[in-house]
Amino acid sequence: MRILVVEDDEILRDAVEAGLALAGFTVDAVETVADARAATADWSYDAVVLDLALPDGSGLDLLQAWRGAGSLTPVLLLTARNATPDRIAGLDGGADDYLGKPFDLDELAARVRAIARRGHGRASPLLRLGDMTLDPANRELLKDGLSITLSRREFTVLQALMEQPGRLLSRAQLEERLYGWQEEVESNAVEVHIHNLRTKLGREVIETVRGEGYRVPRQ
Amino acid sequence: MRSIRLRLFVLLLSATVLVWSAAAGWIYVSTRNDVQRVLDNRLVEAAGMVASLARGSAEALKKSSVTRPLPVPAHYGRQLSCQIWTLDGRLVGRSGSAPDAPLSAGQSGFSERTIEGEQWRVYTLVEPEVGLRVLVGDNLKVRRNLIGDVMTGLLLPALVGIGALAALLWSAVGRGLSPLRRVANELSRRDPAETSSLAVEKPSQELQPLVASINGLFERLEHLRANERHFIASAAHELQTPLAGLKAHAQVARSTDDSAVRDKSLRSIEASVDRTSRLVEQLLDLAREEAAATNAPKWTAIERVVHAIEDELRHFLRRRGVRLTLDENALTAEVLADEAGLTLALRNLIRNAAEHAPENTEVRVAIESGGSMRAISIIDEGPGVLPEDLPRIRDRFVRGSRPKSPGSGLGLSIVELVAARFDAVLHLGNQPDGGFKTSLLMSSKAVRKRP
């Protein structure tokens, strides 16, 4: 899942970026309202982690602008202002969740997974497809009740496909899920991951639509 | 006297007694004069009457040697006494109440004399044709009793009246002071933390200034408290972010397998601890400065202060690669200021400047003149402050919106607070040729060349 983190404090931003990457997210991090606007204009995110007090404006105003423009991207507010009225203002302003500083990284990751899941229209934390069950929180894949070991990137590709069975994802869209801005995109990486997944799970698990992309068949 | 009621009561009662006593004194004097005049007239008339009676029987009287009392009506006997003497000094007649001794020495007119312990006022009438002298006298005790009776009749009701008046005054003063008591009750009922206005309906005219100033005080108190609450809340929030960073980095360092990621997190933890310490240090500076009593200003050499700051920041300046220099006029200048305050203000300004200065540049300390003002200026070669940030950059916990602005957002607040103590004003501005200048503006009287 690709996440945008908007936080002005450099040290905290680095920590959130590193922590969410460890939890299996692909993370882009920006510092200002202006950068956040630019990032969301160019990319689509599964969720946004938004700090309220930003140097060039309020995160709440930014959120309201997004909601006003019809954006449905789930947003988790991250803020030092943690009193009940602040939470209410945040949630009424269009946020999906609220987390006060300081926070636990695992909790942040869990909450981001939860809002992203709901953003995709699912309530269950587990993704199921045929005899496969994918657990994003524990980064675990079960097939016929047996655990199958996947690399981080393989897992990310499979998760992206299983989130919306039947929907076609292009190679570019999958790369977008795999790599943050700072990371260098390896050519053919997507093809390599798809190949490995088919080897581990069976050919029929992922369909190739020639020249278009990949999908997992709807059951 | 601690009680207003008692004080008013005593004052009112004393005034009443004083006025009444003066009136009684006046009445006493005028009554005594009136009684004396009326009774003296009576003596003159009585003497005339006795003389005219005696004239008819003068020869018989002269021969008589009997001191038999003359027949005088009974009720006169007690008040008037009468003696008839021959001119050669024989008593030839007297009334029953008169003594045997002569009532007067013999001259015509009024006289007073004491006989057998009793005072007499006597009128003497000499009749030379018939050779008799008529003396008519009043016992003064009787006169005094008369005046005493008049005064007693006047004063006795007044004394009873004063008792009644005292009771009335006591209760009236109590009632008159009830608005004050209501305000006092309202005040004593209040919670110490309450700072809303006093709920006194239509305060009396005399109480209005009191109620208004109490309410004004409460308002200022509430304002101060709101400021304080806001400040404490802001300070707590300011600490939350670095704490969140610390915790998150600690978690990353613990759970990553990548040694490069772990190293970066540990370095970040270190930086975050530095920043948090600085914030705490500045909060303490601010708290100390707000609580401190102002020291008397004295002439302080800028050079000494700047060198002390340079010593303190030596490590920081070296790490930033910034040199601190003093202009020639700053080397010889002295400032009339509280030294500790001046050091605190300049340290914050110099640290700010060094934080924003590019590596291998100078931060200059200079004394500048303009009209009747002097400025201690700190000039750096950094990027300056965005124009839209300038108006609000002095507010607490506001940092410039340039990315990577370090600091707590408290430094300039501290400088302003401290500078106000030695009548200096903080001025901020970008330099036309790049760089940023912060100045403490002071009166030229407070800056001089070292003698």
Encode pLDDT of B248-276 as tens digits: 999 999 988 889 889 999 999 988 888 88
Across the interface, do A103 and B248 touch by the CB < 8 Å criterion? yes
Q: Do the chains contact at A15 and B252, CB–CB below 8 Å?
A: yes
With 50 as the cut, is the pLDDT of residue B77 above it?
no
Given the cut 0.90, state whether the ipTM is greater than it: no
Q: What is the pLDDT of residues A19-54, one digit of tens each?
A: 998 888 889 999 989 999 998 887 789 899 999 888
Gap from A74 CA to chain B (nearest CA, Å): 22
Summarised one tens digit per residue, pLDDT across range B311-370 is 988 988 998 899 999 998 889 999 998 888 899 899 999 998 998 889 899 999 999 998
For residue A11, give the nearest of B238, B240, B245 by CB distance: B245
Chain B residues close to A106, C-beta within 8 Å: 251
Q: Give the CA distances from residue A111 to residues A4, A118, A176, B149, B271, in Å, rounded to whole numbers and listed in that order.
A: 14, 11, 22, 108, 28
Helix B411-421 and helix B339-356, axial crossing angle in degrees, nearest 10 = 150
- Rounded distance, CA A213 to CA A215, Å? 7
* Residue A217 to chain B, least CA–CA distance (Å): 35
Nearest CA in chain A to B257: A22
**Is B278's Cβ below 8 Å from some Cβ in A?**
no
All CATH 1.10.10.10 domain ranges in chain A, comma separated = 127-215
Which residues of chain A are in CATH 3.40.50.2300 domains?
Answer: 2-119
Nearest to B251 among A10, A19, A100 (CB): A19
Least Cα separation, residue B240 to chain A (angstroms):
6
* pLDDT for position B340: 84
Q: Which two tokens stand for residue B146?
A: 């008369």
At B411-448, the pLDDT tens digits run 888 888 888 888 889 999 898 888 899 999 999 888 88
B240 to A106: CB separation less than 8 angstroms, yes or no: no
CATH dotted code for A127-215 = 1.10.10.10
Which residues fall within 8 angstroms of residue A37, CB to CB, at 6 or more apart? A62, A65
Say what the pLDDT of residue B265 is.
92
Nearest C-alpha in B relative to A107: B248
Find the closest chain A residue to B401 by CA distance: A55
Show residues of chain A in contact with B256, CB under 8 Å. 18, 22
pLDDT at B422 (0 to 100): 84
Query: Using the beta-carbon criterion (under 8 Å), do B248 and A31 form an inter-chain contact?
Result: no
Closest among A170, A178, A180, A153 to A211, alpha carbons compared? A170
Name the CATH superfamily housing domain A2-119.
Response regulator (3.40.50.2300)
Tally A–B CB contacts below 8 A: 83
When the pLDDT of each residue in chain B is averaged and rounded to a whole number, the result is 84
pTM, 2 dp: 0.57
B-chain residues within 8 Å CB-CB of A9? 241-242, 245
B403 interfacial to chain A (CB closer than 8 Å):
yes
Domains of chain B (ranges, CATH numbers): 4-162 (3.30.450.20), 202-291 (1.10.287.130), 294-449 (3.30.565.10)
User: Per-residue pLDDT tens for B357-409?
Assistant: 898 999 999 999 988 899 999 999 988 888 888 887 877 777 666 655 566 67
CA A178 from chain centre, in angstroms, equals 10
Which residue of chain A has the CA closest to B236? A80
CB contact under 8 A, A14 and B271: no
pLDDT score recorded for residue B76: 44
B117/B104 Cα distance (integer angstroms) = 15
Q: What is the pLDDT of residue B402?
A: 60
Q: pLDDT exceeding 70 applies to what percent of chain B? A: 93
Residue B73 predicted with pLDDT over 60: no
Distance CA A207, CA B82 (A): 162
Evaluate whether B327 touches B292 at the Cβ level (below 8 Å).
Answer: no
Q: State the number of CA atoms in the 13 A half-sphere of B203 facing the CB.
A: 21
* A12, A104, A106: residue with CB nearest B245: A12
Which of A12, A56, A106 lies at the smallest CB-CB distance from B241? A12
